[in-house]
Amino acid sequence: MTRVLRWLLIAPLLFAAFAVLQVLLLRVVPPLTSAFMLASDAPEVRYAWVPWDRIAPAAALAAVAAEDQKFPEHWGFDFEAIDKAIDHNQRSRRVRGASTISQQTAKNLFLWSGRSYIRKGLEVGYTLLIEALWPKRRVLEVYLNIAQFGPGIYGVEAAAQAYFRKPASRLTRREAALLAAVLPNPMRLKVDRPSSYVLSRASRIEQQMQQLGSGYLADLH
């Protein structure tokens, strides 16, 4: 019994140390894959890492405009958005999320999809580690490289090549907005066959990009 208790105490510490090492390593090393890529049932996974300076500024701005406009300011969690989502979900059957880019990066990179309390707790832990150990630019760089943009298509470079036959560095504002428009549900929403909803959402994202301004992410470090 003493040995069991000892392991019950040691195991969380070992996992925490492992998580810290994971996050520290990926601060400087491009991920070879992600948890979501490994779980993909697509016949082929397309993924190509590109560094920050080979991603069009419009792609970064579009992702922030669409998913997390307070990204440069928060420490991993947008509590105002969480409150609004809780209020909305209490009144509507259509569930609204409030995950920040940091949370989505933690989930996509290290965890699995689902709504269990265990997964959500791990997501919180990894999000805090990412915010503490990575610069904001690194968080956004990794997010743009591992986000899913369609069946088996992960990262902005693979998406740019698949949908527009060009590198991510040459994406236009409209193309970047179209990519960002499918992020909530890339298995249902299509970049290459955009529905009226996707086109409308892309237009709204472009408007938000205009309001934020091209220099909105200039001070990320």
List CB contacts of 198: < 8 A, sequence separation 6 or more: 178, 181, 182, 189, 190, 191
pLDDT at res. 80? 81
Q: Which of 26-35, 70-79, 83-92, 179-188 has the lowest mean pLDDT?
A: 83-92
Question: What is the model's pLDDT at position 10?
Answer: 81
Average pLDDT over residues 176-181: 98
> What is the structure's pLDDT at 87?
61
Question: What pairs with residue 154 in β-bridges?
Answer: 47, 148
pLDDT, residue 95, reads 52
pLDDT tens-digit series, residues 121-131: 999 999 999 99
Sequence-distant (6+) residues with CB within 8 A of 217 are: 57, 60, 61, 64, 72, 140
> 163: which residues sit within 8 A by CB, 6+ positions away?
149, 150, 175, 178, 179, 191, 192
pLDDT value of position 78: 83
Name the burial class of residue 44, with classes exposed (0-12), middle (13-18) and buried (19+) by CB atoms within 10 angstroms of its CB.
exposed
pLDDT in tens, 77-118: 888 876 776 665 556 555 556 689 999 999 999 998 877 888
Reported as a pLDDT band with limits 50, 70 and 90, residue 16 is confident
